[in-house]
Amino acid sequence: QKEVEQDPGPLSVPEGAIVSLNCTYSNSAFQYFMWYRQYSRKGPELLMYTYSSGNKEDGRFTAQVDKSSKYISLFIRDSQPSDSATYLCAMSLSGAGSYQLTFGKGTKLSVIP
């Protein structure tokens, strides 16, 4: 079982739709959870960062963490064609070793105008 599982997609939605992206993980020691967006042939760009369980909202993006289920989500409201990219979940431990991020494989999203 991989440490972080993420459905690679591809996921195709019409413009304006609500997008739900998810990751599951096996290591209950993960404490910090991040979502990165990666455009083709570009570096990952940090979108959202959350600590432990709960929700965090930033504009059209909402990140959710459910530690009891080892499940994290990213919701994108009113999706735009510019949101078309690969979305990577990442997580890390707390304290010593927290510098090392463990990534999912990424979900490729296409938002159709």
Partner 1 sequence: NAGVMQNPRHLVRRRGQEARLRCSPMKGHSHVYWYRQLPEEGLKFMVYLQKENIIDESGMPKERFSAEFPKEGPSILRIQQVVRGDSAAYFCASSPRGQVGAGNTIYFGEGSWLTVV
| Binding footprint of partner 1 on the chain (CB under 8 A) | 4, 6, 32, 34, 36, 41-46, 49, 51, 88, 90, 92, 94-96, 98-106
CB of 15 to partner 1, least distance (A): 27
CB of 22 to partner 1, least distance (A): 15
Nearer to partner 1, 34 or 111 (CB): 34
String of DSSP letters for the chain: --SEEE----EEEETT--EEEEEEES-TT--EEEEEEE-TTS--EEEEEEESSEEEEETTEEEEEETTTTEEEEEESS--GGG-EEEEEEEE-SSTTTT--EE---EEEEEE-
Nearer to partner 1, 17 or 56 (CB): 56
CB of 104 to partner 1, least distance (A): 6
Nearer to partner 1, 14 or 41 (CB): 41
CB of 90 to partner 1, least distance (A): 8
Residue given tokens 């959202």 in the structure block: 48
